[in-house]
Amino acid sequence: MRAGTRRTTAARARASAGPGRAASAVAGCLGIALAGALLTGCGPGDDEPETVRFTFSKREAIGFMTGVVDDYNASQDDVEVVLDTSGVDVVSASFVRGNPPDLMLANYNMEVSRFVERCTLSDLSDTEAAGGVREDLQPLMDQYGRCAGRTSALPYSVMASAVIYNKEIFAAHDLEVPRTWSELLDVADTLQDAGVTPFYGTFKDDWTVGQGWFDYAVGGQVDTLGFFDRLAAEGTDVGPGSATSFQQDLAEPLARMTELTTTYVNDDAASRAYGDGNLAFAQGKAAMYLQGPWALGEIAKTSPDLDVGTFPLPMTEDPDDLKVRVNVDLAAMIPQGAAHPEAARDFLEHLYRPEIIEAYNESQLGFTPTADAPPPSDPRIEGMTRYYDAGQVYQGASVLVPKTIPVFSYAQAIVLDEDPAPWLRSLDADWARLAMRQ
């Protein structure tokens, strides 16, 4: 039942009872209590709303979600949603203690996959929200694990990432957006010959290398979901002699990555961090920047009128191979052990109302995962829309590697050492060792 219409019989009775009738009822209860009888329902608290603990992990959007919670609480009398932003570590501990939150809206990653694979999340397949989600996103959800017979999580926000480029610089040098590897090199050479830095690198922060250069290079050539499925099947056999391995499957894309990072980036890339990159790109010190949409707001703080766009990094000679990197930034989940599952479901349905889920994603430069949602209106990410709509997407390889393997550090070492081979061998050894322990 929708928020604003749920109201218990007791609540309606209280609303219809006048002051005199209410006072008589209280007096009656007190009289019976004095007589030594116990009357169920006369004790304190039976008119209080049911409390739903709602955990939310997107710190940049706490203000937005606070408003959603406040509006929902004001719309009805039966449920009070309490927003909890304490983070994934606290949530994980609550599962161990046996008092998980009633509803989670969290980043969908390897940490959350533990809840899915152990079947600690309830089935959401019969919700209206589930019926509206795009079916082609399910493989991205399944990559983090499955509980047979259940829809354990529903995507709420999908973030797409690609090359951010300065349209003004491209126009000044009569450059078109490249759609093949050869065209990309031609663009980079033209810019470099004109004294313009093609790409701004921020190699000091390993995560910027991992989620950007590493993920874009791999995803542009390799079917990441299929690759990791094959890796899982290899298990402890992953290595130089296995049919699938990091050494074998990622060697070519990472060789192309290092060709870009050794030839076409700023000379001080090794000492530049994320904040440096945002500022430098905003100041026009490079034509392209491998970052996600979260960087656009930071760039706009310095140059609010800068004309920027996005395009997928081409890694082959076939334009049909072009894809954008995506991740399920937020997914909705109701733990099996939730104290108030029905009330949590009511608020979940509220969150998936078009005017709320679409407004949320618009505010965060995200893509709404429902089938009938309009594309984002922000022109800065328009270059990714056609690929997202067509399902030409890939999940970043770095987020599919378990956290116990330092893939970001390895990616950083590759661009600094300029030789992928030893680090790919380390990835194989780490994967096989982890598979053995599991």
Amino acid at 69: V
Strand partners, 52: 81
Does 287 share its domain with 417?
A: yes
Q: In sequence order, which residues have a C-beta less than 8 Å from that of residue 375 and are 6 or more positions away?
A: 367, 382, 385, 388, 389
| Cα separation, 99 vs 236, whole angstroms | 36
E strand or H helix that includes residue 30: helix 19-34
Does 124 share its domain with 226?
A: no
- C-beta separation of 155 from 137 below 8 A: yes
Strand partners, 332: 105, 154
Does some domain include residue 362? yes
Q: How many domains does the chain contain in total? A: 3
First CA to last CA across the chain, in angstroms? 43
Half-sphere exposure of 156 (CA within 13 A, CB side): 27
Domain region containing 421: 160-324+383-437
| Cα separation, 179 vs 175, whole angstroms | 12
User: How far lies 351's CA from each of 93, 160, 238, 333, 348, in Å?
Assistant: 25, 21, 42, 12, 5
Does 415 share its domain with 293?
A: yes
User: How far lies 177's CA from each of 181, 182, 287, in Å?
Assistant: 11, 12, 11
Query: What 3-state class would DSSP assign to 434?
Result: helix
Dihedral pair phi/psi, residue 311, rounded to 5°: -155, 150
Q: Where are the beta strands (DSSP E) in 284-344?
A: 288-291, 308-311, 324-333
Does some domain include residue 2? no
Amino acid at 326: V
Could you tell me what percentage of the chain is helix, strand and coil, using 3-state DSSP and rounding each to the nearest 5? Answer: 50, 15, 35
Handedness of CA 309, 315, 319, 321 (dihedral sign): negative
pTM above 0.75, yes or no: yes
- C-beta separation of 312 from 324 below 8 A: yes
| Cα separation, 67 vs 69, whole angstroms | 5
Enter the tokens of residue 179: 């759609």
- The 10 Å Cβ neighbour count of residue 389 is 12
Does 254 share its domain with 285?
A: yes
Does some domain include residue 263? yes
Amino acid at 344: A
E strand or H helix that includes residue 109: none
Half-sphere exposure of 80 (CA within 13 A, CB side): 6
pLDDT digits (tens, 9 = 90+) for 36-91: 333 334 433 557 889 999 999 898 899 999 999 999 999 999 999 999 988 766 66
Does 121 share its domain with 39?
A: no
Query: What 3-state class would DSSP assign to 324?
Result: strand
Does some domain include residue 4? no
Dihedral pair phi/psi, residue 237, rounded to 5°: -85, -5
- C-beta separation of 65 from 56 below 8 A: yes
DSSP secondary structure code for residue 335 in this structure:
B
Check residue 1 and give its pLDDT: 39
Q: Which of 140, 166, 118 is nearest to 288 (CA)?
A: 166
Q: In sequence order, which residues have a C-beta less than 8 Å from that of residue 9 and are 6 or more positions away?
A: none
| Cα separation, 16 vs 31, whole angstroms | 23
| Cα separation, 398 vs 181, whole angstroms | 22
Does 249 share its domain with 269?
A: yes
Does some domain include residue 1? no
Q: What is the CATH number of the domain that holds 419?
A: 3.40.190.10
Does 316 share its domain with 333?
A: no
Does 18 share its domain with 110?
A: no
Check residue 109 and give its pLDDT: 75
Does some domain include residue 3? no
- C-beta separation of 265 from 280 below 8 A: no
Q: In sequence order, which residues have a C-beta less than 8 Å from that of residue 73 and are 6 or more positions away?
A: 79, 80, 81
Average pLDDT of the chain to the nearest whole number: 87
Does 238 share its domain with 269?
A: yes
Check residue 91 and give its pLDDT: 67
Does 402 share its domain with 341?
A: no
Does 38 share its domain with 62?
A: no
Query: Tens-digit pLDDT profile for the chain (438 aa)?
Result: 334 444 432 333 333 333 333 333 334 343 433 333 333 344 335 578 899 999 998 988 999 999 999 999 999 999 999 999 887 666 666 665 677 899 999 888 777 777 888 899 999 999 999 999 999 888 888 887 888 999 999 999 999 999 999 999 999 999 999 999 999 999 999 999 999 999 999 999 999 999 999 999 999 999 999 999 999 999 999 998 899 999 999 999 999 999 999 999 999 999 999 999 999 999 999 999 999 999 999 999 999 999 999 999 999 999 999 999 999 999 999 999 999 999 999 999 999 999 999 999 999 999 999 999 999 999 999 999 999 999 999 999 998 898 899 999 999 999 998 899 999 999 999 999 998 776
- The 10 Å Cβ neighbour count of residue 284 is 14
| Cα separation, 427 vs 240, whole angstroms | 11
Check residue 99 and give its pLDDT: 77
Does 255 share its domain with 301?
A: yes
Does some domain include residue 139? yes
Enter the tokens of residue 97: 């203690």
